[in-house]
Amino acid sequence: MIGQKDMEMVDLKSLYRRMKSELDAAVLSAMAGANYINGPEVSLLAANLSKYLDVDYVVPCGNGTDALQMALMALDLKPGDEVITAAFSFVASAEVIALLGLKPVFVDVDPVTFNISSDLLEAAITPRTRVVLPVHLFGQAAAMNDIMRVADKHHLYVVEDVAQSLGADYHYRGGKKKLGTIGHIGCTSFFPTKNLGGCGDGGACFTNDERLAAKMEMLAGHGSSKRYYHDVVGFNSRLDTLQAAILNVKLNYLDEFLSIRQKIATRYNAGLAGLQDLAVPGMDALATHTYNQYTIRVFNGGRDRLQKYLKEQGVSSRVYYPVPLHHQKAFENWADGISRPVAENLCGDVLSLPVHTEMSLQDVDRVVRTIKEFYKS
Ligand SMILES: *Cc1c(COP(=O)(O)O)cnc(C)c1O
């Protein structure tokens, strides 16, 4: 493949070049303003996001993992209280649960959406359960209507991890809502490769509950609501002013970014349709998929061979995620020996292909062609 550029998972350099004049102006203006901590750009981002998401309160913080931490800390949980989350996911949600002395309870996922199975949710509830923490993985919504129904019935909090799905719409109880604003608290990340990514770390929580918003703000500000008076043991997590300045620019393009991702996915879906050993991402009819990842399943043990072939042809791909959370060493204290078969199978057959805002349909066609060559050879 001489002369052909490698196809990477993301292309942040080209995105920057495309947005350079606006981004540079925003950063230079924030530099000159010199309010590097909690500057006006940060409250502006909170206001802009609250409008975009149609949610009353946005509490910015240092990263998506901190967002999950301040959300769970705001709920006044006791050590050993149980938090139900997906067995197939990024580690952050489970990690924060465990760090706070709570018990992560891993529920198997749906084979179509890869998200926590609402059918299995109710059976996982015990008298110690306090929270359900669905992760909207890869850009796709968990079954929020069912999750909220079960949670309401058992008086549980719902904390949504929307780090990979910010901007997705969801048909909730007849109306349309942004994902992350349906449960009691939504948590997101502005890691550079997320749907709305900064040029560094960042995160935020959303809620319509004034009391929870105030609590989260206090917790992430050293447990203080009046300077140097500390009511609870908190921590320190702030969104940088420079990142907020960047995110204020990029938020204006979020819908455009999502529609590029969706067009790429549609092209992949059409190109890969009908391949025997491969499944394209499934769709929840109630949600827009934002394709933070375009993740296929490769059956009959071919995943690793396909990945190797793609690499030889200059096409990157990634296995998100190779180990289900209930098999991770970090969570062995909570191991119950019970299988989560869907999560375990997914770890063996998922493969995420390149999808990003700078990718052309020709790029997609090249990946599709390469995959078809693999199956012919
Ligand atoms: C990225 C991510 C996080 C953590 O975000 P950071 O900003 O990297 O701390 C949490 N949950 C999910 C699902 C993520 O993809």
d(CA 261, CA 170): 17
Which of 99, 137, 161 for mutating ligand 1's site (highest number of atoms within 8 Å of CB)? 161
Instruction: Judge if the beta carbon of residue 243 lies within 6 A of ligand 1.
Output: no
Percent of the chain whose predicted confidence (pLDDT) is above 90: 96
Same domain, 261 and 246: no
Confidence of residue 2 (pLDDT cuts 50, 70, 90): low
Atom of ligand 1 nearest to the CA of 164: 15
Instruction: Judge if the beta carbon of residue 135 lies within 6 A of ligand 1.
Output: yes
Inform me whether the pLDDT recorded for 377 exceeds 90. no
Same domain, 215 and 265: no
Q: Is residue 245 part of a domain?
A: yes
Inform me whether the pLDDT recorded for 13 exceeds 80. yes
- Examine the fold and report which residue of 251, 272, 304 is the final residue of a domain before the chain moves on: 251
Strand segments, DSSP code E, in the chain are 57-61, 82-86, 103-107, 129-133, 157-161, 169-172, 175-178, 185-189, 203-207, 224-226, 229-230, 278-279, 294-298, 350-353
Same domain, 84 and 183: yes
Structural domain total, the chain: 2
State the CATH number of the domain containing residue 353. 3.90.1150.10
- Examine the fold and report which residue of 251, 275, 301 is the final residue of a domain before the chain moves on: 251
Instruction: Judge if the beta carbon of residue 63 lies within 6 A of ligand 1.
Output: yes
Q: Is residue 306 part of a domain?
A: yes
239 Cα–ligand 1 center, Å: 15
Q: What is the pLDDT of residue 225?
A: 87
- pLDDT tens by residue, 186-234: 999 999 999 999 999 999 999 999 999 999 999 999 999 888 999 999 9
pTM of the model: 0.97
Q: Is residue 243 part of a domain?
A: yes
- Residue entry with tokens 């030889």: 312
Q: Is residue 102 part of a domain?
A: yes
Q: Is residue 158 part of a domain?
A: yes
Same domain, 245 and 258: no
Same domain, 265 and 185: no
Same domain, 239 and 335: no
Atom of ligand 1 nearest to the CA of 137: 13
For ligand 1, atom 4: residue with the closest CA: 64
Same domain, 74 and 184: yes
Element housing 362 (H / E): helix 361-376
Same domain, 368 and 220: no
- pLDDT tens by residue, 144-179: 999 999 999 999 999 999 999 999 999 999 899 999
- The predicted model gives 78-89 an average pLDDT of 98
Same domain, 144 and 118: yes
Atom of ligand 1 nearest to the CA of 191: 7
Instruction: Judge if the beta carbon of residue 162 lies within 6 A of ligand 1.
Output: no
Confidence of residue 306 (pLDDT cuts 50, 70, 90): very high
Q: What is the span of the domain harbouring residue 152?
A: 13-251
- The predicted model gives 113-139 an average pLDDT of 97
Confidence of residue 3 (pLDDT cuts 50, 70, 90): low
d(CA 199, CA 205): 19
Which of 89, 99, 133, 189 for mutating ligand 1's site (highest number of atoms within 8 Å of CB)? 189
- Examine the fold and report which residue of 251, 275, 307 is the final residue of a domain before the chain moves on: 251
- pLDDT tens by residue, 24-63: 999 999 999 999 999 999 999 999 999 999 999 999 999 9
User: Which residues lie across from 189 on neighbouring strands?
Assistant: 203
